[in-house]
Amino acid sequence: MTKKIYYILILILMTSPLQGQEGHYWTEQYGTRSMLLSGSVIGGVEDLGAVFYNPARLGQVENPSFLLSADVYQISNFTIEDGVQDGVDTKNTDFGGVPSMFAGTFKIKAWPEHQFAYYSLQRARLSVRFNFRNESRGEVLDDLPGTEIFEAETRSNSSFREEWFGLTWSHKLSDNISVGVSANISILNSRKSNELFLRAFLEDTAEVGIYEYRREFRYNVYGFLWKAGLAYQKERLSWGLTIRTPHLNIINEGKYNYQEYYSGFTGSSIDGYYANSYQSGLKVRRKTPFAIGGGVTYSIKEKNKIHFSTEFFNGVNSYDQLVAKDHIAQSNPEDTISFKVVERLRPVINFGIGLEWYINKNVSGYASTSTDFSAIPDDAPQFNNQEAVVSNALLNANFLNIGGGIVLNFRGADITLGATHTGGSRSFERPFSFPEDGGGGTLETNDEGRVRWNRWRIVFSFSVPFVKSYTKKLEDKLQNLQKKN
């Protein structure tokens, strides 16, 4: 039984956490209606999601709102099916609030025909931990006589968080055409670590053997990128085009920690081992793709609309993202330990379609779907495999987004209620397979397991028009009443 636990620990290190967002571009949605339309709004975005999807549309939105809050509650489910044996699954479910976007518009007196907006949004967020510990008694180590008390423990942590802070400018060139630009400061924090601890106590000799392995890297990258847009609107048709520049690094710093220790038993064929390295101030590079997008929105009847958008992201050739200095094991000068993080991204193109239908003057309904294809290549080296060359991108599954809900329109306020779902899966080759009850020993196998990830989000947002805009409407109504009287 304990041998099975040991191999499960190795499997966990090799396969978890199997998710990431560095190679996915359409996982997150921003704005009120835009979230319910799965981001398929490049040609017809009508809320402050314009700062992200198409900044040119900001100049065509008649009544920009100040987004007071967008509360998103998330349930995510992570499942490893047939991970070590057919019918044996591992599940992990998380629930919590997810911050989305904060945004508002403003005017500059010197440029009354120009529209401006400020915003902050969370471009990506990932935080996953896997911990497992087991202790048992028996004949665990084949090359040592007698019984042992054996303890095995593993910890695997991964976090990835990117935030954008930006300003948007938009201007109408004519009644039908507008242009716009969003300038973004990007702040990225990433950390990955895995740990393995094996401890044994030999009851016959009262000796203790310990193996410890830890490897971690983390980095912070501050950068800058632009997104420019063109928008056209006339009667029932509107369309838009956008381009997004690659990420320009401004400030970066990386760290790398490595520890591996082994204290063996008398008579063991394995010598004691001692190696560690603690490095900081490492240079970090980050490359993101150039992207071009387009979208069309068409009013089918009255206020019913259909939205279609697509966006192409070019690939990024393989490059070294972080390289640690080679270090030598203190207990064995002939053992040189290397480590570097590499990244390569494939070109991808995503599509989205959304429907918007007018129910009455106070209620509108929404339904949508969009793709989120992975840019991560199939041969990307996993960090948890304990190889010298690793990748920061982990899950190469393709995702599908589905969204829907309603918007309630009241005087001076809009309330959005809805839900979105994102999910995907991929198969992996099991490094070990454990037999059914009564079978033989642990075997190597070519059998496959499957990783599934599902995320449900419940959306509630409250937005209000700018006070000046709302006051102006009230003044106009009062003036009209005075004229009639």
pLDDT of residue 152: 83
CA-closest candidate to residue 130, choices 184, 196, 86, 177: 196
| Residue 199 amino acid letter | R
Q: Which residues of 179-207 are buried (b: 16+ CB within 10 A; e: fewer)?
A: bbbbebebebebbbbbbbbbbbbbeeeeb
Query: Residue 443 above 60 pLDDT?
Result: no
CA-closest candidate to residue 195, choices 112, 259, 106: 259
**In terms of pLDDT, which residue wins out, 370 or 158?**
370
Distance (Å, rounded) from C-alpha 50 to C-alpha 34?
Answer: 9
Label residue 81 by pLDDT band (50, 70, 90). low
pLDDT of residue 169: 97
If you average pLDDT over residues 186-203, what whole number do you get? 90
Query: Residue 405 above 70 pLDDT?
Result: yes
Q: What is the pLDDT of residues 236-269, one digit of tens each?
A: 999 999 999 999 999 999 999 999 999 877 767 7
Lowest mean pLDDT among 147-161, 375-389, 423-437: 423-437
**In terms of pLDDT, which residue wins out, 306 or 380?**
306
Instruction: Give me 180's structure tokens.
Output: 């716009």
**In terms of pLDDT, which residue wins out, 483 or 91?**
91
pLDDT of residue 275: 96
DSSP E strand stretches across 143-247? 148-172, 177-202, 207-234, 237-244
**In terms of pLDDT, which residue wins out, 160 or 90?**
160
Label residue 16 by pLDDT band (50, 70, 90). very low
Strand 248-263 and strand 207-234: pairing? antiparallel
**8 Å CB contact between 413 and 467:** no
pLDDT of residue 246: 96
pLDDT of residue 483: 55
| Residue 69 amino acid letter | S
Q: What is the pLDDT of residues 341-380, one digit of tens each?
A: 999 999 999 999 999 999 988 899 999 999 999 998 888 7
Average pLDDT, the chain: 82
**8 Å CB contact between 26 and 401:** yes
Query: Residue 474 above 50 pLDDT?
Result: no
Q: What share of the chain is helix, strand, coil (3-state, %, to 5)?
A: 10, 60, 30
Query: Residue 475 above 60 pLDDT?
Result: no
pLDDT of residue 120: 92
Label residue 432 by pLDDT band (50, 70, 90). very low
**In terms of pLDDT, which residue wins out, 65 or 321?**
321
Query: Residue 188 above 90 pLDDT?
Result: yes
Label residue 156 by pLDDT band (50, 70, 90). confident
Distance (Å, rounded) from C-alpha 464 to C-alpha 412?
Answer: 6
Share of the chain above pLDDT 70, in %: 77
pTM for this predicted structure: 0.83
pLDDT of residue 124: 85
Quote the radius of gyration of the chain (alpha carbons, Å).
27
Q: CB under 8 Å, gap of 24 or more: what pairs does 58-63 form?
A: 58/105, 58/115, 58/117, 58/168, 58/170, 58/178, 58/180, 59/114, 59/115, 59/170, 59/171, 59/172, 59/178, 59/179, 59/180, 59/231, 60/172, 60/178, 60/231, 60/233, 60/238, 63/465, 63/469
What's 393-449 look like in SS3?
CCCCCCEEEEEEEEEEEECCEEEEEEEEEEEEEEEEECCCECCCCCCCCCECCCCEE
Distances (CA, A) of 178 to 30, 228, 241, 298, 335: 21, 11, 11, 18, 62
Query: Residue 31 above 90 pLDDT?
Result: no
If you average pLDDT over residues 158-179, what whole number do you get? 94
Q: Is 60 exposed, middle or buried (0-12, 13-18, 19+ CB in 10 A)?
A: buried
Q: Is it true that the peptide bond before 64 is cis, omega within 30 degrees of 0?
A: no
Query: Residue 202 above 90 pLDDT?
Result: no
Query: Residue 467 above 60 pLDDT?
Result: no
Distance (Å, rounded) from C-alpha 392 to C-alpha 174?
Answer: 46
**In terms of pLDDT, which residue wins out, 1 or 84?**
84
Q: What is the pLDDT of residues 308-350, one digit of tens each?
A: 999 999 999 999 999 999 999 999 999 999 999 999 999 999 9
pLDDT of residue 473: 52
Distance (Å, rounded) from C-alpha 397 to C-alpha 375?
Answer: 9
Number of Cα atoms under 13 Å in the Cβ half of residue 184: 26
**8 Å CB contact between 274 and 330:** yes
Instruction: Give me 80's structure tokens.
Output: 């490893």
Number of Cα atoms under 13 Å in the Cβ half of residue 240: 35
Distance (Å, rounded) from C-alpha 453 to C-alpha 15?
Answer: 13
**In terms of pLDDT, which residue wins out, 96 or 458?**
458
